[in-house]
Amino acid sequence: MRLGDLSSPALAALIGGPRPVVALVPVGSTEPHGPHLPLATDVIISDAACARAVAALDGAGVSALIAPAVPYGVTECAAGFAGAVSVPAAVLTAYLAAVAEGLLAQGFVHVCLVNNHLEPAHDAAVRAAATGDRRDRRVSVACPLTRRWARTLSDEFKSGACHAGRYETAIVLAATPALVDEAARAALPAISISLSEQLQAGVTTFAAMGMDRAYTGAPAAATAGEGEVQLARLAEMIVAEVCEAMARASAP
């Protein structure tokens, strides 16, 4: 299931087999997610969603491998907090484009960039990597920022008050529960600051939004069961983006 776990001959045999093989690239960030979640939260979400999409793609006749994750992104919103590591948008686009082209050159029929770091500038940089003469129709992006997929997720997610809140905390509880600081989580009050509304109003940093602990939402209310539900919906998003892109690529 994981590209990095395979030997070179094993990958060659899979690529040379009768079924199409696609690469799923988890994309995220290294940034603060409150006092209770790890800096790698966005990568954890992308990776866990990919893991759940593999079986569904297999059922659709497609073999999928999870490529090594890209753990850095455009994280300017978190400026000033410990652990916020940001890269320029142009650098991220160039890097992701090169990774996608490298995977295609290896014989993967399609590459899907699975992104769960939802800063708008980061999302735009990821989407830019899916365009170009060698990547058009062979590289897709799966990200819940689009309205089509956002409406399938939790009410908190749709409210925009979801950075390290109930939505993300639930997913990390389902995927990597040992990385959640339960004592810190239980003590966190609910906060209703909507990132989407603040960004639309021109407020661009967590600090300026009033998120002095780098979270919004209701993390104390999260459960692992809810996280599994959200991961299933993210997996459905990945499968749909991959299958629809592959259908477009094969059309005249």
Q: What pLDDT digit, counting tens, does each position of 142-151 carry?
A: 999 999 999 9
What are the φ/ψ torsions at residue 51 (nearest 5 degrees)?
Answer: -60, -35
| In the predicted structure, residue 133 carries a pLDDT above the cut 80 | no
- For residues 26-44, give the mean pLDDT: 98
Specify the pLDDT at position 239: 98
| In the predicted structure, residue 232 carries a pLDDT above the cut 90 | yes
3-state secondary structure of 43: helix
Altogether, the residues listed in the chain come to a count of 252
How many structural domains comprise the chain? 1
- For residues 47-74, give the mean pLDDT: 97
| In the predicted structure, residue 83 carries a pLDDT above the cut 70 | yes
CATH number at residue 125: 3.40.50.10310
From CA 229, how far away is CA 247, in angstroms rounded? 27
Determine the structural domain holding residue 152 and report its residue range: 3-250
From CA 104, how far away is CA 171, in angstroms rounded? 30
Task: Kindly report the average pLDDT of the chain as a whole number.
Answer: 96
| In the predicted structure, residue 82 carries a pLDDT above the cut 80 | yes
Residue 216 C-alpha from the chain's centroid: 19
CB atoms within 10 A of CB 17: 10
Specify the pLDDT at position 134: 67
CB atoms within 10 A of CB 7: 8
Structure tokens at 189: 């009050």
224 pLDDT band, cuts 50/70/90, is very high
- For residues 179-195, give the mean pLDDT: 97
Structure tokens at 202: 């021109």
Specify the pLDDT at position 251: 80
Looking up tokens 């991220």 gives 92
Using the 8-state DSSP alphabet, how is residue 25 labeled? Answer: E
| CA atoms within 13 A of residue 192's CA, in its CB half-sphere | 1
| In the predicted structure, residue 116 carries a pLDDT above the cut 80 | yes
Specify the pLDDT at position 47: 98
Structure tokens at 251: 């059309």
From CA 145, how far away is CA 58, in angstroms rounded? 26
Structure tokens at 110: 């399609």
From CA 53, how far away is CA 55, in angstroms rounded? 6
- In angstroms, the Cα distances linking 21 to 140, 198, 229 are 14, 41, 27
250 pLDDT band, cuts 50/70/90, is confident
- Answering whether pTM is above 0.75, one says yes
| In the predicted structure, residue 164 carries a pLDDT above the cut 70 | yes
